[in-house]
């Protein structure tokens, strides 16, 4: 009897041990501020990641998405863990430069969250790994073509573009009957609201920053068929047919000041905060802003739906369209094939697949970069605002994936400033821009492998 009891006790202890071991194993799968996966995993990836793609995000909807989607991935990969190296909010340039240096030194994370503006720097340095083996052709084809000018090079894909935005002309529809379609229309509408309603006409951030290029040059330039770079990142924006196209843009921006359609204040505006202050005060008729401003205007303006609407950028010719689109990408640095595959499984399950992009974009209030999300997910296909965004993305452009781009953009901002303050004519400024750009290009060539 005692022997049977002893056997029963031993069996019970074994069963309890198994249960506890299983519980311990299950408890080891976590989603925390700094880690995703099995905390006891011997195989561990590292990722540099934006705060909002972790549960550190201050937005409940984003945290809920991350917790569910990351846990689902972790449970499907119980032998793996991911250490999260969270990027600092508001320090994009510093973080991107640091990651570039770390990658060059061979100490960077296995995969990274990479501002699309910086992809060219990493590609030019030969630091990104091709991800073609880990994505289907159908997935590749689903992304808007303009994303591929950044994420692909020499026929290979190096990044997944996770979300985007677009620039738009917002206008007071309660004051302006017909929204502007051309530059002339814009100036006429801006002068009208000033004269008739005593408010500011048109505001746009034209100060010497990236906004001078991204909000006030490229969409106008691209709509005319302009090109920034030729072969081997040689700047061509100020020569050949491009020269007159850029002169046209500079001349238009100067007309805004000279006619009074825009106040001289725009010369010092490097961001949107002063513009949104005027929107809040009901003191402006037309502005350049991004897709994100729809929700911002709704938050700060009473009866916003009755006052504000948006349309595509006005252009020199009424039948031309172009946009400038930003956003973040995900890329792989590690040369370890197994780690590459697992990193891509995380990227696609959280961001890149059709279902993941739809769910994440809804939770984050983002705009998808896959056309099939707009076409098949009812949240996007049935919403009039989302469908208007979709139309804008069809005219999308991405800033060139060249590490020389920031230098050229800076020169453009500087030369536009010279025009706006009256130091140079548009033609003089474009010629000087081209001269300086070629000097920078010659120096840049010497840094390339």
In a domain, 6, yes or no: no
Closest CA to 174 of 305, 313, 312, 311: 305
Position 89 scores a pLDDT of 87
- 247 Cα distance to chain centroid: 28
Residues 70, 60: one domain?
A: yes
Mean pLDDT of 163-181: 97
Provide the token pair at 224: 């005319």
115: which strand partners?
328
Residues 302, 369: one domain?
A: no
Is the pLDDT assigned to residue 3 strictly greater than 60? no
Is the pLDDT assigned to residue 110 strictly greater than 50? yes
Position 27 scores a pLDDT of 54
For residue 67, give the H/E element and its range.
helix 60-76
Position 182 scores a pLDDT of 98
Tell me if residue 155 falls in helix, strand or coil. Answer: coil
Of 394, 410, 436, which one is at a domain's C-terminal end?
Answer: 394
Residues 245, 375: one domain?
A: no
Residues 261, 381: one domain?
A: no
Is the pLDDT assigned to residue 398 strictly greater than 90? yes
Is the pLDDT assigned to residue 93 strictly greater than 90? no
Position 90 scores a pLDDT of 83
Cβ-based neighbour number of residue 218 at 10 Å: 24
- What is the phi/psi pair of residue 82, to 5°? -130, 120
Position 107 scores a pLDDT of 97
pTM tops 0.85, yes or no: yes
Provide the token pair at 260: 């009074």
Taking CA atoms, 447 is separated from 107, 231, 360, in Å, by: 21, 17, 39
Residues 288, 429: one domain?
A: yes
pLDDT band at residue 136, thresholds of 50, 70 and 90?
very high
Separation CA 422–CA 279 (nearest Å):
28
Residues 36, 89: one domain?
A: yes
Which CATH number belongs to the domain containing residue 133 in this structure?
A: 3.40.190.10
pLDDT tens per residue, range 12-69: 444 434 433 443 445 599 999 999 999 999 999 999 999 999 999 999 999 999 999 9
pLDDT tens per residue, range 202-212: 999 999 999 99
Position 449 scores a pLDDT of 66
Task: Name the domain count of the chain.
Answer: 2
Residues 172, 285: one domain?
A: yes
Q: Which residues of 435-448 are buried (b: 16+ CB within 10 A; e: fewer)?
A: ebbeeebeebeeee
DSSP for residue 312 = P
In a domain, 2, yes or no: no
pLDDT tens per residue, range 424-438: 999 999 999 999 999
Residues 142, 175: one domain?
A: no
Is the pLDDT assigned to residue 236 strictly greater than 70? yes
In a domain, 202, yes or no: yes
Judged by average pLDDT, the poorest of 14-23, 152-161, 288-297, 359-368 is 14-23
Residues 229, 300: one domain?
A: yes
Separation CA 71–CA 252 (nearest Å):
52
Mean pLDDT estimate for the chain: 93
- What is the phi/psi pair of residue 143, to 5°? -75, 145
Separation CA 324–CA 111 (nearest Å):
26
Taking CA atoms, 369 is separated from 269, 386, 402, in Å, by: 29, 12, 21
Residues 262, 223: one domain?
A: yes
Is the pLDDT assigned to residue 280 strictly greater than 60? yes
Provide the token pair at 188: 């006429």
CA 369, 373, 374, 377 dihedral sign is negative
Residues 348, 250: one domain?
A: no
Q: Is residue 121 a contact partner of residue 331, using CB atoms and an 8 Å limit?
A: no
CA 276, 282, 284, 285 dihedral sign is positive
CA angle 15, 20, 26 (to 5 degrees): 130
Q: Where are the alpha helices (DSSP H) in 208-292?
A: 210-214, 218-223, 240-259, 273-280
Domain residues for the domain of 308 are 167-324+401-445
200: which strand partners?
284
């Amino acid at each position: 009897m005692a022997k049977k009891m002893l056997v029963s006790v031993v069996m019970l202890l074994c069963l309890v041990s198994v249960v506890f071991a299983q519980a311990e194993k299950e408890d080891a799968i976590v989603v925390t501020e700094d880690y995703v996966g099995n905390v006891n995993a011997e195989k561990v990836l590292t990722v540099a990641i934006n705060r909002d793609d972790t549960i550190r995000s201050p937005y409940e909807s984003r945290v809920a998405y991350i917790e569910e989607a990351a846990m689902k991935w972790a449970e499907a990969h119980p032998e793996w863990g991911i250490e999260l190296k969270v990027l600092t909010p508001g320090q994009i340039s510093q973080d991107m430069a640091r990651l570039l240096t770390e990658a060059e030194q061979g100490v960077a994370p296995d995969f990274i969250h990479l501002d699309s503006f910086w992809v060219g720097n990493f590609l030019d340095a030969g630091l990104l790994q091709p991800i073609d083996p880990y994505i289907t052709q159908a997935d590749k084809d689903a992304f808007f073509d303009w994303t591929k000018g950044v994420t692909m090079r020499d026929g290979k894909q190096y990044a997944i573009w996770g979300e985007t935005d677009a620039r738009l002309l917002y206008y007071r529809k309660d004051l302006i009957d017909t929204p502007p379609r051309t530059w002339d229309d814009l100036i006429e509408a801006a002068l009208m609201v000033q004269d008739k309603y005593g408010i500011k006409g048109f505001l746009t951030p034209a100060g010497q920053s990236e906004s001078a290029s991204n909000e006030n040059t490229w969409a106008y330039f691209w709509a005319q068929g302009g090109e920034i770079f030729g072969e081997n990142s040689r700047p061509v924006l100020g020569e050949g047919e491009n020269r007159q196209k850029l002169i046209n843009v500079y001349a238009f921006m100067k007309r805004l000041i000279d006619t009074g359609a825009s106040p001289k204040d725009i010369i010092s505006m490097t961001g949107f905060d002063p513009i949104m202050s005027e929107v809040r005060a009901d003191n402006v008729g037309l502005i350049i802003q991004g897709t994100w401003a729809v929700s911002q205007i709704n938050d700060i303006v009473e009866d916003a739906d009755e006052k504000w609407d948006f349309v595509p950028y006005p252009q020199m010719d009424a039948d031309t369209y172009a946009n400038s689109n930003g956003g973040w990408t995900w890329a792989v640095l590690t040369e370890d094939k197994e780690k590459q595959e697992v990193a891509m499984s995380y990227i696609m399950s959280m961001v890149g697949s059709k279902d993941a992009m739809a769910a994440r974009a809804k939770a984050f209030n983002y705009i998808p970069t896959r056309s099939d999300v707009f076409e098949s997910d009812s949240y996007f296909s049935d919403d009039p605002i989302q469908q208007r965004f979709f139309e804008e993305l069809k005219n999308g452009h991405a800033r060139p994936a060249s590490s020389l781009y920031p230098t050229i953009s800076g020169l453009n901002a500087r030369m536009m400033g010279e025009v706006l303050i009256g130091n140079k004519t548009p033609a003089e400024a474009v010629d000087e821009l081209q001269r300086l750009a070629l000097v920078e290009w010659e120096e840049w060539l010497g840094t390339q492998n």
